[in-house]
Amino acid sequence: MPRTARIQRKTAETDIDLILNLDGTGCVEAATGVGFFDHMLTHIGKHGLFDLTITCKGDLHIDAHHTVEDVGICLGKALVEALGTKAGIRRYGDATLPMDETLVTAAVDLSGRPFLVWKANVPNEVLGTFSSQLGQEFWQAVASAGLMNLHVVHHYGTNTHHILEAIFKASARALRQAVEPDPRATGVPSTKGVL
């Protein structure tokens, strides 16, 4: 059974079409109008081994906030839809990832309960048209709409680009583990019988 989803979301601020295949090869087409954000979305696909197609027309004349947050909402919803009942998945995933002087850990639980812990000292900087503060906004939206616990810990490192890229890569690799089928598992990975 293909684990795919398509989310289309239109508001007064954004118009988004997002297609996700959890069992892809890391093929990504991202066109949000925010160059650095497209770069980060490409890392999610490449390191999660997800196929992702994302187009977003947002109110970039204001800033990139609505675009970034709303794409996060759509990605979270797509994860929920593509996972279905979550039967047979690993549920948990984690990754510690170095990038030059930076080290980041991301851990995820596809628990059905949204929660973000963000222990990342990201300098307040604008990368292209992407405010570094939007990294947290994006992952908050993914965690909330994706009904997951996500813990991000930035151990050390000072370069803003490196910190954000390591966060996106580590989170993608943690998600890749969590959504993987577990060959030993039967049913939903919870004593409750539902996630």
How would DSSP label each residue in 161-195?
HHHHHHHHHHHHHHHHHHHSB-TT--S-SSTTS--
What is the bridge-based pairing of β-strands 51-58 and 28-31?
parallel
CATH number at residue 89: 3.30.230.40
pLDDT band at 169, cuts 50/70/90? very high
Non-local CB neighbours of 38 within 8 Å, separated by 6+ positions? 30, 31, 32
pLDDT tens for 52-98 read: 999 999 999 999 999 999 999 999 999 999 999 999 999 999 999 99
**Which percentage of the chain shows pLDDT scores above 90?**
98
Indicate the DSSP class of residue 64: S
Residue 193 lies in a domain: no
Residue 117 lies in a domain: yes
Gap between the Cα atoms of 40 and 168, Å rounded: 6
> What pLDDT is attached to residue 1?
82
Residue 20 lies in a domain: yes
